[in-house]
Structures are given as structure tokens and as C-alpha cells.
Amino acid sequence: MFHHVVLMAFTADADQAFLDRVEAFADEIRRTARNLDRYEFRRNIASRSEGLDWAVFGSFASSADHDAYQVSDAHQRMKAYMTPFIARIVVCDIDEDLG
């Protein structure tokens, strides 16, 4: 299993319409990504989030499935839409197959 976690802080321009659009992209990815176990866009409720108040997390059957998601049309459009609203970002990838 391959896990992809993205923690983000958004600019003040990230309003409810922005959040709704990102959720629509997430829904498209849930419908179209190959060998996807779970994909979520959620508020980070950790008290130690250091301002990284939003997260995208996905679990894929393999690193190859994650790689396919990274270059997919839906993910590329999601990234292009979100980038102007991202003030800070941290990415964590975990490949369980690597031990």
C-alpha cells in the first residue's frame, strides 16, 4: 500500500467556493484513479498543525498507481486550480512495500 499525504495552509482568498471546487476535484479522482483505496480532502484538526489546516490524503495499491494518479488529468487540473491559493505545503509519501 502507498500513502500520499499533503498538508496545506491556504491564502485568505480560499473561500467556501474554493473548498467546494477542491472537493469536486477530489470526487472526480475517487471515481477515476486506478487502484485507489481512499482519497479525502479534509480539515486538519490537529492542535499541532502549525497552520497547515487542510489535508489531502490518498491510499493506493502501489507506488505505480500513485505515480499514475500524479500525472492524471484530474490531478493536474486540481493542482493548477489550487496552487494560487496555497500559502504553504508539506508532502509525505509512505510506501509500505519498502518496509
C-alpha cell at 64: 505505480
Q: Mind listing the pLDDT tens digit for each residue in 66-97?
A: 999 999 999 999 999 999 999 999 999 999 98
| Distance separating alpha carbons of residues 36 and 61, to the nearest angstrom | 6
Q: Mind listing the pLDDT tens digit for each residue in 44-65?
A: 999 999 999 999 999 999 999 9
| Distance separating alpha carbons of residues 42 and 47, to the nearest angstrom | 15
- What's the whole-model pTM score? 0.93
DSSP state of 96: G
| Distance separating alpha carbons of residues 31 and 34, to the nearest angstrom | 9
Question: What pLDDT is recorded for position 61?
Answer: 97
